[in-house]
Amino acid sequence: MSDVLYDQRQVKRARYAVAAVFAVHGAVTGSFATRVPWIQDHASVSAGQLGLALAFPALGASVAMPLAGSISHRFGARNALRGLISLWTLSLVLPSVSPNLVALCLALFVYGATAGMADVAMNALGVEIENRLGRSIMSSLHGMWSVGTLIGSAAGTLAAHLGSDARLHHALAAAVLTCLGLLACRWVPDLQPAEDEEPPPRFALPPKSALLIGAVGFCAVFAEGASLDWSAVYLRDQLETSAGLAAACTTGFTLTMAVARLAGDRIVDRYGSVRTVRAGGLLAALGGLLIVTARNPAMAMTGFALMGLGIAVVVPLCFAAAGRSGSNPSLAIAGVATITYTSGLVAPSAIGTIAQATSLLVSFILVTVLASGLVAFAGVLRGGDRDRPKISPPAAAVPGPRP
């Protein structure tokens, strides 16, 4: 068997391994989200205090993400991912055992910090494998994250329905997901830094290119967060639909996102990142127009579906572009991840604040304007389309500063 065929098999196996890690990461998120009401009751916190505590994951992620590059440089990509994904899965236990507000805030800070570092490490490996394959895979990797979230949410919903203690549920989930994550990491590339490669700074501000790419991701994640948290409320309040139909709209939006991400790589390979994001921006803007002009539930649900379809592949392409944007891919990926995390945190509260001051309709006009920004600023992702070698040399360096 030729070395080229052997390398191709190794890289394809690595792709599936990293996809499994993405699914594990998403499953932790889904497992946590479904048990937030139980955690609130256990910690005896009010709705306002819970809102404060839920800001700490994004804070922890923002602080810790820039550290991921130096960890990968020191321990190698495989060992770094093993450690970080294990810390993330095990941190699932912390919120459910927190007895009060202070403990919950500290637990969620650690939860967010480990999530952010694992996120950067797995996206950096995804970009590296994409380079070796010579075709787009980032969209489907993020699609697997969505699949993992749906699986974790389904399991959490069942556990909540059965009235199980979240401490037991999360302990079992953490154990299973840690084992699955470690098993998947056996087949990711054991990338090591080159001998003459200097270690990245332990903490540094993201490069300018990451800020521009992150701005595109901000628009997409803002629309995603607004749609996930407010679509059901919009249908109920603006169109006076039933609770069941309103909930179905949110579920449909989530499924549309997942399916579009799983199928998105073929479109990206054919048309490139820039044209794909511009077309997606047009679809999302059209969806926004349908939402704000809707006179019946079907029209609004179609609008939310188009919104999900249009923004689905934007964030994966932002990570891919960041990973090929300059001399420090890990730092650029960390910068983009930080901006998108911030957008996901800001969007739901911003929509609520604007709705209280004006109306929910005005809030979604803002979402539509931001979705239109994808069309205008998609050009900053052009670096994600430059030529990629089919197979890289076996001794490729871990994502980080290159000489």
Q: Are 368 and 259 in contact (CB under 8 A)?
A: no
- Identify the pLDDT of residue 174: 97
- Ranges of the chain whose pLDDT falls below 70: 1-6, 193-207, 326-328, 383-403
Take residue 70 and report the two structure tokens written for it. 């130096």
Q: Which residue is it, tokens 């949410």? A: 153
What is the model's pLDDT at position 367? 94
Q: Give the end-to-end CA distance of the chain in Å, rounded to a whole number.
A: 34
- Tens of pLDDT, residues 2-50: 334 447 788 888 999 999 999 999 999 888 988 888 999 999 988 778 8
At which residue do the structure tokens 């169109």 appear?
239
Tokens 């932790």 correspond to 28
User: What's the chain's average pLDDT?
Assistant: 85
Q: Is 271 helix (H, G, I), strand (E, B) or coil?
A: helix
Q: Are 126 and 18 in contact (CB under 8 A)?
A: yes
Structure pTM? 0.80
Is the CB of residue 35 less than 8 Å from the CB of residue 96? yes
Q: What is the pLDDT of residue 199?
A: 59
Half-sphere exposure of 331 (CA within 13 A, CB side): 18
Distance CA 93, CA 77 (A): 26
SS3 401: coil
Domains of the chain: 8-188 (1.20.1250.20), 204-387 (1.20.1250.20)
Going by C-alpha positions, the residue among 131, 312, 130 that lies closest to residue 221 is 312
pLDDT single digits (tens) 217-229: 999 999 988 888 7
Supply the pLDDT for residue 26. Answer: 92
